[in-house]
Structure formats: C-alpha cells, structure tokens
A and B are shown apart, each in its own frame.
Chain A
Amino acid sequence: MKANLTTRFFGLELKSPVVAASSSMTGNVDQIRKIADAGAGAIVLKSIFEEEIYHQLQEELSRRNEFLSDPEYLDYFDYVIKDESLRKYVKLVSDAKAAAGVPVVASINCATSNEWMAFAAKLQEAGADALELNLFVAPSDYGKTGQDHENFYFTVVDRVLRHVSIPVSIKISHYFSNLAGMVQKLSQTGVAGISLFNRFYAPDIDIAAEKVVAADVLSADNEYLLPLRWTGILAGKTACRLAGTTGIHTAETAVKFLLAGASAVQVASALYQHGPAVVADMNSGITRWMDEKGYVSIDDFRGKLSLQNVGNATAWERVQFMKYFGEKEF
C-alpha cells in the first residue's frame, strides 16, 4: 500500500508535510504555482514586515523632498505607505489563492503588538486560509526584562486571535530563558501550531577586511539539529501541533522531524538552492521511506521518537556529548 502523506498543520489538512516556508520565493505568484505543483502541502507567503514598511517610508521621504516643508502632508504619508503595502499583500494573497490550489498561509512579521491586528483581519478578508505570525523580539534591550519580552508574545497572539476566525500559527525563536515552558504556554493560547525556529539575518566578521559582514543567508543542512532537539523534547507536551524549520534540506531530515513529533516541516533554503523540484524529491523520499518501513500514514510514526514516547530524557537533553567524549582516546 502506498504511503499517504496527509497531515495537519496550521489548523488545516495538508496533502504533504512539506511546506514552503515564508521567503522571497513565496512572494511571487509564478514561483508559488510551481512550488504548489511540485507537491507542497501549503504555501506560507513572504512576510509583510513592519520594519520594511518603515524603511520604505524613509526612502520615499528622501525621494520626495519637495514636500518636506508641508508637515500636514508628511503626517499622513506613512499611512499611505502602510496602506500601499497592505494593498499589495492583499493582492498577493488573492492571486496566490487562485494560483496555488493548496492552502495559502499569510505571514506577518510583528514588531509592535497593536499595529497588526487590522492587517490580520484584512488578510483574512483577502482569503488567506490561515495566518502565521513571525514573532521575534531581539532580547538585546538592556532596559527590558525577560517578562517584558514574553508578555509581548502573549499580547500579540491574544489580539490577533480576537480579530480573526481563521487559524493562527506562530513561528518563534529559541531565545527564551525557559523555552519549554514558554512554548507550552503559547500552545495553550489557542494558536493552531508553532514552528520551531525562525532563522534570522546573522552578522559575521571578515578578518581580512576587519569588517562586520552578513553571514550566509541560506541555512546549512546541519542546522536542523537545534529545532529537531526541541521538537523531540516538546512533542506531546503542547496543546497544538509543532512544525520544524531551519536546515531541513532532504527527505531524511524531514522524516527525522516527523519521528521527533513534528506534523510538518517548513523549507526555504532548499528551495533557493534546488528550486521547486526539491519538494517533489522530499515527498517521494518520505513516501519511499514509509513504504520501506510499512507505515501507511504520517500519524503511524509521528512522534515515535519524541522524548515523551522514548522516555529517555538523556537521549534528548544532554548526555550525547559526555558519551562521545568519554570514549575518545588521544
């Protein structure tokens, strides 16, 4: 019997656990169509960034300096820019819906908690099947406490959930002092899913030029270990489903996440490197593996190796280094 890849994430039934993560590739309708045709379970659209809108405003203001003497005009221009961004994004949602034939998830990157309630409602009106809130606060403000940061997440989620009826998922970072507790509490807010973890721009240093530069923007295929570990630890302990993201480039890695307890995996860097065909490759790889193992559905093995099911905390939490180095001889 051929394996059935159907799963659930984002509060929706997906025909495959391989989801196109939010990236510039999912900001273009032609690409979206190709990725959907390759068999993606869902498309998470390129995020609409609050920060990006602010930078666009600054750019436009610099360009339109003939109006700088008119404060009344300046005073409403940021509303104009914001509206324009929203209008474009609403169009992307409806065009993607028409082109994809699979669930389309709108993605919002929030920097402030109130700004996006209305955006969320508009994206629902535009036909998005679900929302993903890409939540991230850099914990680098010395004036704030950990509690302040955590409250931000709960406030945003609460406000958005009050204003939309479509399912809302969140994508978060691992920057929490008690990650497990935080994810568990977030899962109890009413969100449909949590994706672990978002990946950010990272600085690097060029030692020849002695300059701070941008690190590689694409993930490497071993970067999956951190989200895999936390998927394994958290699976079964949350009130909503989990997905893995970052460093997932192959069917084998996708299977690892499913075994750890994820319901889906989100891929972006692999799409940049190999194009939409990578989705088809991953689907056939997962199918082949399931067939070999005799699994008919994802639920037959999802979470089989999670901490909860394995019951061996040391395997997931700390000992692997001790064992490796304990047996090493020089």
Chain B
Amino acid sequence: MSTYQEYLKGEREQTWRAELRKMTPNKERTTIERVKMPELDPQIRIHYQDREVNLGLTAEQAVLEARRCLDCPTPTCIEGCPVSINIPKFVKNIERGEFLEAAKTLKETSALPAVCGRVCPQEKQCEAQCFYTQKMKKTPVAIGYLERFAADYERESGRMSVPEVAAPNGIKVAAIGSGPASLSFAGDMIKLGYDVTVFEALHEIGGVLKYGIPEFRLPNKIVDVELTNLEKMGVKFERNFIVGKTASFDDLKAEGFAAFFVASGAGLPRFMNIPGENYNGILSSNEYLTRVNLMNAASDAFDTPVLRGKNVAVIGGGNTAMDSVRTAKRLGAERAMIIYRRSRDEMPARVEEVHHAEEEGIEFINLTNPVEYFANERGRVNRMRVQRMELGEPDASGRRSPRVIEGSEYDIDVDLVVVAVGVSPNPLIPSALKELKVSRWGTIEVDKESMQSSVPELFAGGDIVRGGATVILAMGDGRRAAAGMHRYLTGDQTSNH
C-alpha cells in the first residue's frame, strides 16, 4: 500500500469518522435526495453582470448533503480530483458541523477552494468517480457545492486559517503568470519554504480567473480573498511585469531566482479564418470578456467601451462561449445565441452553465457552423451565413465528428459576434527562450510527471502546456510542477504531493 493510501486509511480510521459512520446507516444515507443549489431568479439576474447566480447552500443543506457521503474505504472521488483533495475528510467535517476544519482540509492541497467550488466541472471529475455515480447509478454527492460551502463559510466567519508553511529555505523561485496554475504552484512552494514571487503582465492578479470568468459565475472578491491568503502565507506578487520584456530570464537569474514555473496561459485568440471575419462587430471572446470583466466596460462609471448588440451570436460550445453569451444577455441582447457545430451532448461547457444559460433565455443553435459574415455599408456585421452539420463516425477521441450537410446554408441577422473557438498559447516566453523546446503548436513540451521543460530550471503548466485547459487541470499542473521543482532543487526524490 502506498504512503498516500495509508495516510487516507489512517484519516478514515480516526475515532470521529468511525463514529459518524455508525450514526447513520448507509441505507438511510442513500435515500437522501441530492441537494438543489439555490439560485437567483433568472429574470432578475439577467440584469446584473456582477450578481452571482448560485447563492450557496445553507448550513442545514450542507450538513444533509454531506450525510449522503458513504465515507467509502476506497474513496474513488479523490482519484477524479486533479489536485487530490481529501474529499471524504472535508465532507465528513461538514457532516459533523466542523466547517472550519473542512475548509482547512481543502487548503491542504488546493490553493483556491472557493474558486474550484464554483468553476470546476465536478460532473466530469470527482463527482463522476463518486460511488453513487459509479455503482448506484444515482446522482453523486454534490462535492462541488460542499467545497464552495466550506470555503465561503470560512471566509464569512472572519476566521480564515492560513496554512502552515515551512521555515524559509532562502531559495528564490518565480511563477510567470498569475492564473490558477501559478497560484496552485505558489501555494505548494511557499508551504515548502521557498521564497516565491508571482510575475503578472497585467495590473490585476488572477489571470483567467479575473479576465476570463464573469463575476456572475466567480465574483472577483472571492478570487481576491484567495490571493490575500497566499499573500499571508508569504507569496509576493509583481504586477505590470512581463518576463522576457520588463526583465529577461538572465536578469532574474542574476537577482537570485533559481527556477521558474511558466504558466503564461493561452492568451492568443483564435478565429475561424472564414470570409468577413474582419468586419466590425466580430471579436474574440478574450477581448469581449476582458473588456467587461477586467476593465469594467459594462459599468457607466468606466470609460472602457464594449460593443453591445441586440442580436448576438457566440461561436463555440465551451465555458468561455457560455460566459460570453450570458454576458451579452446581461448587456442587453434581445437574442443571444450559441452557435455550435456539434450536438448538445458534445458541448464541453459545464452542465450547470448550460442549464443556467437556458434558464436565462439563451438560444442554442447546435449542429450549425458559421461559414461567412456580411456587413452594412459602414463595415459593421449585420448577417452571418451558417450551414447545418450532422454527426459522422466517432473520431480518434471517441467523439462523433461534425460533417457538413451540403446545401443547408441559411442566414441569421446579427449585430455582434463573439468567437469563442479556443485560444492559442501565449508566444512570449517561447520566443524569449530560443533553447526551450516547444511543440508544433507553440505549447511548451514538458515531462508529464515533473512538468520540467527542456531548460532544466524551467517548469511549465496550464494552457501554455496543454493548449487549453480547465482551471482544475491547470491547478493540477501547478501542483505537479511544484513537486517536480522541489525534487530538482533539493535532489529529494521522495517528495511528492
């Protein structure tokens, strides 16, 4: 049995857990219905960019939901979590009413529990591996809701715990970019005693958490609290600092930085290369969301403009597409549409976001792809031509490929189009380090276990390695990179998260 499994077993055998299991028979636990997340009314929330849709569980709801968890001897849910949160331990702490202990458990391995509780696709990760899902074919324990509850409870209690950190070892390390991969890396490295500085090119820390995810899904104040926590642990943040421009790697090495974690993200918008895509009124989801989320373009109190439309089409089926179309609705769109070339079943967006979007009156035009845009005499887009698709045979990923139905084109009136078909890796770091091995697509090539690149002192993770990743996968990369860098810097081969 591995050390980690022994640790989990030991935790499970603690007296309080054993007693808790005895208090409620499993048969009774499995009869409890999964909790429903209280939500802000769709007709109210579509008028507010900054009012969160999910309102969070009450303590009573959280305790009841936590009681559903069977505290399995082999907790498969943990295997589904890229940052290996001790899920049964935090859930059982909620069941016994020790909410602060639950939050503390989350922070043992996650630097951003309040964030993950809101934006992780739990239905594809921990909840997909839950005993209820796997063996009983029932709805899983609402692990994400409980995670959010514990983190929110702690924050609102005013008794935030700061994770313990080792004594400083005097070794300086840098994280480049301040998104989820970097923050996760920084949290682990500071706990190990390193002197950690996070360099951010923009004026705000948080990366995609701030500029990419709207406040109705992830309020900035939630992110700020997590950042403050990292600061309290000793992580330093440098804003408006572009590594490779403001200072080179050699400059930073001369300042004593021994190793670097590059998580500079995928900030390069992608377009579809179809005719008319350069007309006014067609913009990338990066630009659209950054203007609204980071530069407050939706607020009259700010000068930053953003184009508004009555008929808005968002191209894509991922979370960024959902964020964009729901933002458009909140900015006054009468018709806000998702245009996606695959069917609903293949949409990569979180199930909850799709559900919320539907409640808000978003129109889903699936199995449809744009082929051309048209504009008025002033060059502003006024119409798009789309073609219908059908699903063909499964491709190498197992998903059915969309195929064109010839002759199925028709036009849709639009005055704003947001293209959310993915982003490409930020080319800045690869271009600043010629010896760095990058893939044909501009992603940094790393060892999958240690996240170490071809430049020994340089590790990387998140979108710059994956080309596009969810928050939690990026955080998993950050944790692996921290363990890998620690081994590299100390020669300690036993270290692992």
**Contact yes or no, B406 A152, CB < 8 A:** yes
Question: Given A72-B318, A117-B372, A122-B273, does the pair A77, B396 have CB atoms closer than 8 Å?
Answer: no
* Partner of B399 from A74, A83, A115, A152 at Cβ < 8 Å: A74
Measured between alpha carbons, how far is A75 from B273 in the docked complex, in Å? 16
Contacts of A175 in B (CB 8 A): none
**Contact yes or no, B387 A58, CB < 8 A:** no
Binds A, one of B61-69, B112-120, B468-476: B468-476
**Contact yes or no, B372 A58, CB < 8 A:** no
B253 within 8 A of A: no
- Contacts of A71-91 to chain B: CB distance below 8 A: 71-77, 79-80, 82-84, 86
Contacts of A117 in B (CB 8 A): 274-275, 371-372
Q: A35 to nearest B CB, angstroms?
A: 28
Residue-wise, chain B 308-345 has the 8 Å CB interface mask toward A (1 for contact) of 00000000111100000000000000000000001000
A189 within 8 A of B: no
**Contact yes or no, B406 A113, CB < 8 A:** yes
A126 within 8 A of B: no
Question: Given A66-B448, A84-B441, does the pair A76, B421 have CB atoms closer than 8 Å?
Answer: yes
A135 within 8 A of B: no
**Contact yes or no, A74 B273, CB < 8 A:** no
Closest to B319 in A: A72
**Contact yes or no, A61 B397, CB < 8 A:** yes
Contacts of A113 in B (CB 8 A): 404, 406
**Contact yes or no, B422 A79, CB < 8 A:** yes
A205 within 8 A of B: no
**Contact yes or no, A112 B424, CB < 8 A:** no
* Partner of B404 from A70, A79, A115 at Cβ < 8 Å: A115
Q: B227 to nearest A CB, angstroms?
A: 25
**Contact yes or no, B275 A118, CB < 8 A:** yes
Measured between alpha carbons, how far is A159 from B448 in the docked complex, in Å? 45
* Partner of B270 from A58, A59, A69, A79 at Cβ < 8 Å: A79
Contacts of B406 in A (CB 8 A): 112-113, 148, 151-152, 155
Measured between alpha carbons, how far is A113 from B342 in the docked complex, in Å? 19
**Contact yes or no, B407 A151, CB < 8 A:** yes
Taking residues whose C-beta sits less than 8 angstroms from the other chain, chain A's interface range is 35 or more
B398 within 8 A of A: yes
- Contacts of B405-457 to chain A: CB distance below 8 A: 406-407, 409, 421-424, 440-441, 448
B395 within 8 A of A: yes
How many residues on chain B are close to A (CB under 8 Å)? 39
Contacts of B422 in A (CB 8 A): 72-73, 75-76, 79-80
A121 within 8 A of B: yes
Residue-wise, chain B 258-285 has the 8 Å CB interface mask toward A (1 for contact) of 0000000000001011110000000000
- Contacts of A108-156 to chain B: CB distance below 8 A: 112-115, 117-119, 121-122, 148, 151-152, 155
Measured between alpha carbons, how far is A199 from B423 in the docked complex, in Å? 39
A163 within 8 A of B: yes
Q: B399 to nearest A CB, angstroms?
A: 7
| Max chain B Cβ within 10 angstroms of own Cβ: one of A70, A72, A76 | A72
**Contact yes or no, B469 A71, CB < 8 A:** no
- Contacts of A23-48 to chain B: CB distance below 8 A: none
Residue-wise, chain A 166-194 has the 8 Å CB interface mask toward B (1 for contact) of 00000000000000000000000000000
Report 21 cross-chain contacts, Cβ distance below 8 Å, ordered by A residue.
A62-B396, A68-B398, A70-B466, A71-B318, A71-B346, A71-B348, A72-B318, A72-B422, A72-B468, A72-B469, A73-B468, A74-B397, A75-B318, A76-B423, A80-B424, A112-B406, A114-B274, A118-B273, A119-B273, A121-B275, A155-B406
Taking beta carbons and an 8 Å cutoff, which residues of B are in contact with A? Answer: 124, 270, 272-275, 316-319, 342, 346, 348, 371-372, 387, 395-399, 401, 404, 406-407, 409, 421-424, 440-441, 448, 466-470, 473
Pairs of residues from A and B, 8 with the lowest C-beta to C-beta distance, nearest first = A76-B422, A71-B348, A61-B396, A114-B371, A72-B348, A118-B273, A112-B404, A58-B396
